[in-house]
Amino acid sequence: MRAVAENAVLNANYLQARLADIYPVPHADRTCMHEFVAQGKLAGAPGVRALDISKRLIDYGFHPPTNYFPLIVSEALMIEPTETESKETLDSFVEALRSIAQEAVANPALLHDAPHASPVRRLDEVKAAKELAVTAPYRPPREG
């Protein structure tokens, strides 16, 4: 268990160090534990939000981080790499986030419309929160 915990902490600190020059990291002067919180505020891309960055990560094949938590960090991206991630995977994640930062400045619409490569496009999250449907409607089986 100790080695597992140490790897999780190492992975989170590695990512924090590799991303802090592009994604603001409140409290980056401290060693983080198994997670760290960056901000989805990018220089030169004022209209891009944390959610846009997360949705674009899907196009790069990565599960997006937790958005908007903790509430005390504006545009929070809580990044929690697991202890089993390889250095190659961590580096690919960093390169994806660096590419997304460049895209945010050059073509913010690309992020606003993401994801592009998934079977489900961006959902109306406000509508989903107001009209909660946690089960699919019943559809009788088709004959034939």
Task: Write out the chain's pLDDT in tens, 144 residues.
Answer: 899 899 999 999 999 999 999 999 998 788 889 999 999 999 999 999 999 999 999 999 999 999 999 999 999 999 999 889 999 999 999 999 999 999 999 999 999 999 998 887 887 778 878 887 777 666 666 776
Spatial contact of 24 and 43, defined as CB atoms under 8 Å apart: no
**pTM to 2 decimal places:** 0.85
Q: Which residues pair with 77 in a beta bridge?
A: 38, 67
**What's the rounded Cα separation, in Å, for the pair 14 and 40?**
18
The pLDDT value recorded for residue 36 is 95
Spatial contact of 37 and 25, defined as CB atoms under 8 Å apart: yes
The pLDDT value recorded for residue 50 is 97
Spatial contact of 49 and 75, defined as CB atoms under 8 Å apart: yes
The phi and psi torsions of 100 (rounded to 5 degrees) equal -65, -40
Angle at 24 between CA 120 and CA 84, to 5 degrees: 60
The SS3 of residue 28 is coil
CATH of domain 2-130: 3.90.1150.10
The pLDDT value recorded for residue 37 is 96
Cα distances (Å, whole numbers) of residue 35 to 13, 32, 40, 42: 8, 6, 16, 20
